[in-house]
Amino acid sequence: MAREFIYLVPEIIVLATALGVLVLDLVLGAKRKPLILALASVAGLLAAAGFTANLMGQRAIVMADMFVIDSFGLVLKVVILVGAALSVLLAVGFLERPKSHPGEYDFLIVASTLGMMVMTGSNNLLLAFLGIQLTSIPLYILAGFKRNDSKSSEAALKYFLLGVLTAALMLYGMSLLYGLTGTLNLTTIAARLGGIKTNDPVLFLGMVFIIAGFSFKIAAVPFHFWAPDVYEGSPTCVTAFISAVPKIAGFAVLLRLVYTAFPALTPQWTGLMALMAVLTMVTGNIMAIPQKDIKRMLAFSGIAHVGYALIALAVPGQNAMGALVFYLLAYSAMTAGAFTIVVAVGRVSHEHQITSFAGLGTRAPVLAAAMTVFLLSMLGFPLTAGFTGKFLVFSAAIEKHYVWLALIGVINSVISLYYYFGVVRQMYLTPARATTKMQVSGLVWLLIAIALTVTFALGIYPEPVINLTRHLVVLFARF
């Protein structure tokens, strides 16, 4: 038992960080409090990321078969932890306003991150459910964190109601699966399913309900209804977090479920995933076109990206899994970068219409150039992370003879040109309403620089990361 705790050191560090932030919040004076708390959280999260990276290559199931340590989970945990650290930094400006509760904010972000780590590693449906709860409950609160803004409260209410509704559906599915197999452990479910007919309708129903519940977390169609409203209503720094980080954990738990528990039902779930991928891509791209609010536009664009990533789930195999991990990394970098710029612009213009980007090319040329890079990356332009990610996903699909799926993906990428270009046109071709130069804080520059570096690194010289995802990313269940 004591030996097993070594594998849980990252989680323990994150928990200690969360509690430490609460204590620091009590003892610190008001001066520079948001920055100090943020730096403490970042230190804890990065330390946990370091320990996680240190575990790389290990394979184990610990805590009475509850928790899996494998490089697939470890890689994603590092991405989650770094993403969470960056979004803590992004929020410093938001929390410097009076009465903004920085201690509680950082605590909730770190607690949610802990939930995502639990989700990523769970080998048990009960633990996966609790991980989802620990991820979601802080997010409901963070969505409503601007307490005197009724849009923010509304975002919290919608997120919460749709969240509990899908949670109930997911639990119903888990109960049916438990009735069939007598266990909630993913590995044992796979073993027991050997004795059950795979065309058992109860099994199929249970699987569909569970996948539906997990799909809510990644905002896949038809479980995406919360995303635009929550993105628009939440404080933008929370939106940046929600859009980039929890989706990684959602994909991790979804992939672990279908790969570990349902290898016997591969034809059924690949069909479901392919259907969901097509619906998600098309809905996301079509709905993004008429949006006037940049956060809503990015919400639908994020939905479309979930669709591309779902292609990788629809074509199971080592290459597809590596492509998925790469895509999630690329997606979180470019989304985080784009939202950082939305935060920076929003702090000056106090609104989030796409028109508020008008003339950014003259008012803040570097910011506009960076935004252009992130949008091009989302579009899938060569030399950016988005291109490599899409290339890997589509070639994994073609390799498994799903040419039509890759084709739909390419067509959707072309559609997305329209709305991404809309923002670029605003920035460079529409005259600015204000002519003053924009002031951007050093922290925001730092975050943009990091996101830019990752976006270009994964686009220009992706070989090391591709090799990593191809060979290192292995799932425990396959051994």
Partner 1 sequence: MVPLQYYIIMSAILFTIGIYGVLARRNAILVLLSVEIMFNAVNINFMAFSAYITPATMVGQIYTIFAVASGAAEIGIGLAIILLIYRGRETVNVDEVNMLKW
Partner 2 sequence: MSGQLLAFWALSFVILSGALYIVMTKNIMHAVFMHLLTMSMIAAVYGLLHADFMAAMQVLIYAGAVTAMVVFALMLTKSQSRPDGAGIAVDNQQRGASFLTAAGFLAVVIYVLVPQKWAVHEAAPVVKSDVAAMGAIIFKSYILPFEVISVILLAALIGVIVLARKED
Q: Which residues bind partner 2 (CB under 8 A)?
A: 15, 18, 22, 63-64, 66-67, 99, 101, 104, 107-108, 111-112, 114-115, 118, 124, 126-127, 130-131, 133-134, 137-138, 140-141, 144-145, 147-148, 156, 179-180, 182, 201-202, 205
Question: Got the DSSP string for 234-268?
Answer: S-HHHHHHHHHHHHHHHHHHHHHIIIII-GGGHHH
Beta bridge partners of 60: 69
Instruction: Please answer whether residues 231 and 97 qualify as being in contact, where contact means their C-beta atoms are separated by less than 8 angstroms.
Output: no
First and final C-alpha spacing in the chain: 22
To partner 1, the closest distance from the beta carbon of 160 in angstroms equals 6
Residue 101 binds which entry of partner 1, partner 2, none, with Cβ cut-offs from 5 to 8 Å by kind? partner 2
**Residue carrying the six token digits 């130069």:** 437
Within a 10 A sphere around the Cβ of 271, how many other Cβ atoms?
Answer: 12
How far is Cα 241 from Cα 247, in angstroms, rounded to an integer? 10
| Residue 240 · residue 90 · CB < 8 Å | yes
Residues 159 and 242 sit within 8 Å (Cβ to Cβ): no
Give the shortest CB-78-to-partner 2 separation in angstroms.
21
Would you say 153 or 353 has its CB closer to partner 2?
153
Polymer length in residues for the chain: 479
Query: Cβ 476 to partner 2, closest distance in Å?
Result: 16
Report the alpha-carbon distance of residue 55 to residue 75 in Å, rounded: 10
Is 49:85 a contact under the CB 8 Å cutoff? yes
Q: For partner 1, which residue of 178, 391, 428, 456 counts as binding (CB under 8 A)?
A: 178
Nearer to partner 2, 107 or 300 (CB): 107
Binds 466, which of partner 1, partner 2, none (CB < 5 to 8 A, cut-off by type)?
none
144 near partner 1, rule: CB under 8 A: yes
Look at residue 161 and give the partner it binds from partner 1, partner 2, none, a contact being a CB closer than 5 to 8 Å depending on partner kind: partner 1
By beta-carbon proximity to partner 1, the closer residue of 56 and 157 is 157
What's the CA gap between 247 and 389, in Å, rounded?
16
Q: Give yes or no for residue 100 binding partner 1 (CB under 8 A).
A: no
Among partner 1, partner 2, none, residue 184 binds (CB under 5-8 Å by kind): partner 1
d(CA 178, CA 174): 6
- Token representation of residue 102: 């920085």
Residue type, 252: A
Closest by CA position to 333, among listed 463, 449, 193: 449
184 binds partner 1 (CB under 8 A): yes
Q: Which does 472 bind (CB under 5 to 8 A by kind): partner 2, partner 1, none?
A: none
Q: Which is nearer to partner 2, 40 or 375 (CB)?
A: 40
Contact 89, 36 (CB under 8 A): no
Question: 200 or 421, CB closer to partner 1?
Answer: 200
- Residue 156 binds to partner 1 (criterion: CB under 8 A): yes
Q: Is 161 in the site for partner 1 (CB under 8 A)?
A: yes
Q: Which of 155, 323, 343, 447 binds partner 1 (CB under 8 A)?
A: 155
Q: How many CA atoms lie within 13 A of 56 on its CB side?
A: 14
**Which amino acid would we find at residue 309?**
A
Please state the closest distance from residue 198 (CB atom) to partner 2, in A.
15
Interaction partner, residue 63 (partner 1, partner 2, none; CB < 5-8 Å by kind): partner 2
Distance CA 329, CA 83 (A): 10
**Cβ distance to partner 1 smaller for residue 175 or 198:** 175
Q: Which is nearer to partner 1, 188 or 430 (CB)?
A: 188
Single-letter residue type at 142: L
Residues that bind partner 1 (CB under 8 A): 126, 129-130, 133, 137, 140-141, 144, 147-148, 150-151, 153-158, 160-161, 164-165, 167-168, 171-172, 174-176, 178-179, 182-184, 225, 228-229, 232-233
